[in-house]
Structure formats: structure tokens, C-alpha cells
Structure 1
Amino acid sequence: MSDSSILPVRGRAVRPSGRHRRPVPSHLPPEAPALVLATLGDASGVTAELAALIRGDNPQIEVRLASLGEDGKELTSALEDAARERPEDSIAAVVVPLLTGPHPVADRLIAGAVASSGVSVTVTESLGPHPLLAEALHIRLAERELARADRMRLLNVSSPVDAVVMVTVGGEGAAAEAQPTAVLLASRLTLPVLVASLDSAPDVAGAAERLRGIGAQRIALSPCLIGPEADPGLASAAAARIGADCADALGAHGLVADLAARAYGSVLAAG
């Protein structure tokens, strides 16, 4: 932390290179940056549950939760509050977007909030792609009996479905970023998995048509979403249009909380 060249420029969002996968140290100094979870939608419900999970597993971290709203002002206030409690020459906060992939609206709001705060902040990448996301998606499918719960057993038993459409929001960029997670999920399920977007191309209907073209009749929809970033009925409506069953969104899953904490831990390790 003594080399000023590794510190972010005051008032600018800095995204560390590489994927953020380091665990959080068990002990942190009092001046350690706050972990600020930035969410689209209200800072309640699923996002509050995730914050509580992170606090429970990592009591050494100061965890704050901020809704981006329409103008990012709540995030700006959270960053200013964190800075008042820390030395001027230190990073006040690590902002972790509660998103599985890039989201143009969230990215713009976070960048604006950081700039408005005038605070030294590091903004991490979104939580995906990552094997833990694939594992959580597998669990959500299994909870709806749309996948075998244990991929290591019962390999000769037929799967509940023939293929999966994994859906995202955030435009074509988010869908492209989700491809590695889809590959990991396909490996876990030993089934074809295609990525589709709920708000752009590639669309769900097109993905379903491609899967049926290779013989898949029973298709499941797997939302690669935490929840607040999309209307709660969007995925289920898309599933109904293609005659598919739909798993639940990731929600306040422990693996999502773990990924958010690891994003924070990676910033500390890089410093």
C-alpha cells in the first residue's frame, strides 16, 4: 500500500485486472476499506440477505449496502461516509457490483457516484464468470427438479431435461461474458447449455429453437441473475413462451456472498 502507483486516482473508479478470487484475510486493520455492495433496485430483500451473509462469514469486514437508484446518490453518500472514517491517503472503499456480469446502466451509475464522491475507491468487476456461479445455478436447477442434484452419481439415470437456456440481462456484452459460466454449467450437467438475453440478442426463442434443432425437447431456463437487476417475472414469462420450466434466480445464495467477499479480498491482496 506504500507505493502510490498502485492506488486508484481519487474520485475515479478503478477496476483491478484479472478475476477477483482471493479469500478475505482473517484479520484486517481498522483502516481497511469498507466493502460497499452496489445494487440495482432496493437495498433490501435479497441484497440485504447477501450483506448479512457476508457479515456473518467475515465479521472483520465493514459491509455497507447501497442502492444505485436512478442517480447513484445513495452510493455516493456511502462512499463519503466510509472516507470520513479512514485516513485521507487510504482507499476508503471497495465497491462490488451485485451483478453476475456487466450492466451498462449499473456501470454508468457506479462511475458517476464514485466521481461525485471524490473518494479513493476501487470498483471490482462483476461476479462472473466463475465456477461458483455455475455451481449455484446447478443447485437452483436441482431445487426445481430440473437437474440431478449430484452430478457424480446416477450417471446412467436420464436427466429431467434435455438442455438448458441460461439467461442474463445487461445487453449483448453481458451475454458474451456469461459464456464461460455456461460452459462450466454444461460440464456439470453433461447437457447442452446456451446463453440468451432477456433484454437483447441473443434472444430466448432463438436459443430454444437451436436446442430443439439438435433434438432437445425438454428445456429448462436458468436465470444467471441475482434478482434485483431484472423484473422478477421476466425469466418466468420467457420460459412460458418457449414451453420451458424455470429455475429460481440465484438470490441470496451463499456462493454469491462468497464471490462478493472474494472480490473484496482480491483487491486487498493486489494492494
Structure 2
Amino acid sequence: MKASNPFPPGRRRPAPPALVLVAHGSRDPRALTTVRTLAERVRELRPRLPVHLGHIELNEPLLPDTLAALGDADAVLVPLLLTRGYHVKRDIPELAAASPARTRVADPLGAHPLLVETLYARLVEAGWDTGTDDAGRPADAVVLAAAGSRDPESAADTRRTARLLADRLGVPVVPAYASAATPTVRTAVRALTARGHHRVAVASCFTAPGRFATQCAEQAPWLASAPLGAHEAMARLVLHRYDRALAIPAATAA
């Protein structure tokens, strides 16, 4: 027996809840270009999904304006942030609660295998040798450069990403920070060099180009990867966070 069609001819399937990419914002114009490109990649992967962009500060559209334009529609906010910190725990939920839209806030992007896939791809683009086995890398190591936060959960997320990347690369990976936490990238590089690692790469654990990403890359003694950017794995990770947020019952999410 053929199942009945819940959407009769002429009636379109209702649109899913909107996905709102929440970027931090930056004075570096490359950051805005990057997050816009990432939004386009998400749309390409899921064409029927309404995808919007909102910033916490510094760039337009600001998140309150994006949410106001949605009216009372359903929306899932996906932070383009890599750890649990103040923006994820306070700023974004408070802005969401003040809007007329019916919102859920997804988890930040990291730590996740898709994030590690992007970090690995960016290192390879920068010149990381994929043809050498683990035994042939005694001099190699990586500093995972992140923004930094005073929140201990943020540091825990970065350490977990470092462990996942170390498993992927087969070399030591040490987390380091641009601000608000220690060690700094320079300190981490010196510590690895003292341990006999004379080829130390810096992996840029930043969503988009900006001041912190540039400063960390400049401290690389060997090679430095580009920020995560609009890699396809990042677009897939955004959709994964969106789907996970929708899978949680509304009362639990609230």
C-alpha cells in the first residue's frame, strides 16, 4: 500500500528552522569575507535550509538585527566559535533570549573530528609532509594556536582538540594561546625545541583571519597553517551542530 503524501500537490514542504551562523566579528576585512563564504558552502550542502549570518560585534549584520528580521520564526544559532567560553555561555544565549525568534543555541564547533580534518588539511596546504611515517618524525611537533579564554572549559576543549590532532599527525601537539591563557605560542615553541623538536609547525585554530591568527603565525619557526576558513569539513561541522541542536527536545535545550 502506497503511503499517503502529507504534502498534497501545490503545497510545499515547510521550511526547516533557520540556521544562524554567529560570528564574533573582526576589524580584518578577510574575516567577513571568510564567514560569508562559509555560509555559502553551508547553503550548497543543504539548499533548502535558510542560512543567515549575525555578528556579536564589529561587523554587520549584528546578531540582534539578524534575529529581529526573522520575527517569531524558529532558528538554530550555531556559534562559529571553537570552545566553550563567555560568548557561548552568556552573550549568545542572552541575545537569543531577547529576540522575538524561537531559538536554540547549538554547541560551539570544537572539539570534533571534522575540525581536526580541517586543521590537518590546512597544515598539508602549508607544506606538512604526508609521505613520512610516524617513526620518521622525531624532530616534528605542532603548536595548536587558539584565541584563549579564562574559562577552564574553553581550555579543556582546546586540549582535547590538540589530542585529536596529535593522534591524526602522529607527533606531539601542544595547545597555546594568543591571550587570556598560557602558554603563549612563543613559550610552547621554545618548550618543544628544548625537547629536541627542531621542526615546529603552528596550526591555526581560528575560524577566520584576524589579528590573533596573524600574530600566532608570525611566531612559527617552521611552517604555519592558514585559519580554518570555509573548508568543506567546516561547513559539514556547522550542519552537524545544527542537526544535533534540533535533535534535543525543546524543553531540554531551553
TM-score (structure 1 length as normaliser):
0.76
How many angstroms apart in 2 are the aligned matches of 1:144 and 1:107? 34
How many angstroms apart in 2 are the aligned matches of 1:41 and 1:138? 25
Runs of 4+ more than 6 Å apart? none
| Pairing 1:54–2:35 present | no
Q: Report if the CA contact (8 A) 2:18-2:49 is conserved.
A: yes
1:156–1:230 CA distance, 2 compared to 1 (3 A) = closer
Q: Which amino acid aligns with 1:258?
A: R
Per-residue deviation, 1:270: 2.5
How many angstroms apart in 2 are the aligned matches of 1:219 and 1:172? 26
Q: Deviations over 1:146-194 (max 9, x none)?
A: 241xxxx652784496100001113144332111211111111110001
How many angstroms apart in 1 are the aligned matches of 2:112 and 2:209? 20
How many angstroms apart in 2 are the aligned matches of 1:154 and 1:228? 29
The RMSD of aligned alpha carbons is 2.6
How many angstroms apart in 2 are the aligned matches of 1:102 and 1:230? 21
| Pairing 1:33–2:21 present | no
Match of residue 18 from structure 1:
none
Task: Select which of 104, 110, 114 maps to 1:122.
Answer: 104
Q: Identity over aligned residues, as a percent?
A: 32
How many angstroms apart in 1 are the aligned matches of 2:245 and 2:55? 22
Q: Which has the higher contact order (CA 8 A, sep 6+)?
A: 1
Match of residue 198 from structure 2:
217
How many angstroms apart in 1 are the aligned matches of 2:138 and 2:230? 25
Q: Which amino acid aligns with 2:99?
A: S
Q: Which amino acid aligns with 2:193?
A: R
How many angstroms apart in 1 are the aligned matches of 2:139 and 2:166? 12
Q: Deviations over 1:199-252 (max 9, x none)?
A: 13122222223212321111000011111565442222232xxx3421111111
Segments of structure 2 that go 5 or more residues without pairing to the other structure are 1-11, 250-254
Match of residue 189 from structure 1:
169
Deviates more, 1:216-225 or 1:43-52: 43-52
How many angstroms apart in 2 are the aligned matches of 1:270 and 1:55? 23
How many angstroms apart in 1 are the aligned matches of 2:143 and 2:245? 33
How many angstroms apart in 1 are the aligned matches of 2:58 and 2:85? 14
The number of residues matched between the two structures is 231
For residue 265 of structure 1, give the secondary structure of its aligned residue in structure 2. helix
Q: Report if the CA contact (8 A) 2:18-2:76 is conserved.
A: yes
Q: Report if the CA contact (8 A) 1:146-1:247 is conserved.
A: no
1:29–1:267 CA distance, 2 compared to 1 (3 A) = farther
Per-residue deviation, 1:29: 4.9
How many angstroms apart in 2 are the aligned matches of 1:65 and 1:133? 20
1:114–1:71 CA distance, 2 compared to 1 (3 A) = farther
How many angstroms apart in 2 are the aligned matches of 1:75 and 1:101? 19
Segments of structure 1 that go 5 or more residues without pairing to the other structure are 1-27, 87-91
Q: Deviations over 1:78-125 (max 9, x none)?
A: 2232234x3xxxxx1100011122342465432332132143211111
Residues 243-262 of structure 1 correspond to what in structure 2 (within 5 A)? 243-262=221-240
How many angstroms apart in 2 are the aligned matches of 1:101 and 1:263? 13
How many angstroms apart in 2 are the aligned matches of 1:250 and 1:73? 22
How many angstroms apart in 1 are the aligned matches of 2:128 and 2:215? 19
Residues 9-158 of structure 1 correspond to what in structure 2 (within 5 A)? 29-41=13-25, 44-69=32-57, 74-84=62-72, 86=73, 92-105=74-87, 107-148=89-130, 154-155=132-133, 158=136
Match of residue 178 from structure 2:
198
TM-score (structure 2 length as normaliser):
0.81
How many angstroms apart in 1 are the aligned matches of 2:137 and 2:123? 12
How many angstroms apart in 2 are the aligned matches of 1:154 and 1:244? 17
